Amino acid sequence: MRETVLQQIKKNKLIAIIRGISCAEILDLAEALHQGGVTCMEVTFDQSGSDFRNTLSSIEQIRTQFDGKLCVGAGTAMSAVQVELAAKAGAQYIISPNTDEAVIEKTRILDLVSIPGAMTATEVAEAYRYGADLVKVFPAGLLGPDYIKALRGPLGHIPLTAVGGIGPENCGAFIRAGASAVGCGGKLVSPDLVRKKQFGTIRDIAEKYMEVLAGI
């Protein structure tokens, strides 16, 4: 399963980042993203508290209703316990804002795709040495596509994702710079649009991303 999910991420080139969305709205959101061509979604843990039921319920619903259509992962996972919880809910990949050896190790033990976060060349290399399948460069929007290109010079053997400040206007530049995929949050999945139930607008935004990425 792990290799299949990894190839799907690289094929679709985009992971939709779901943050601050109620599990009551998650299926309508997932359907809108799916209609827009997105096949990979990440539901984030809220690290400000200890109640992860919304995240876990959302992951479980997506995995149940869209299995075979969408790959669903857990984001902002910062402990091995959270990795285990996400895996039980049906998560297929684990994404973190940082590089934590214990998180990566637990992810690989559970045969899930590991995508830890890093910024410097040292952090990227360390994450890969620990067992990362992809390394999330964050905050990519501030660093720019040239930063990805520079990292790919000495670290061309390490597949990267670019996350943070990625919109339809610049997602293609990050892929052309060498990123295997991009992670897109608020510019793709606006909590305000979800609250207003403007799922058609979210679908249209997703289509804009996919039109750009499909041509690369």
**Residues labelled as active-site residues:** 42, 136
Cα 13–Cα 207–Cα 97 angle in degrees, nearest 5: 40
CA-to-CA distance for 205 and 207, rounded, in angstroms?
A: 5
In the chain, the N- to C-terminal Cα span, in Å, equals 26
Structure tokens belonging to residue 41: 């979604």
CA-to-CA distance for 210 and 172, rounded, in angstroms?
A: 10
CA-to-CA distance for 170 and 165, rounded, in angstroms?
A: 9
Q: What are phi and psi of 141, to 5 degrees?
A: -60, -35
- The conformation of residue 137, written as its DSSP 8-state character, comes to E
Residue 77 burial (C-beta neighbours within 10 Å; 0-12, 13-18, 19+): buried
Residues in the chain: 216
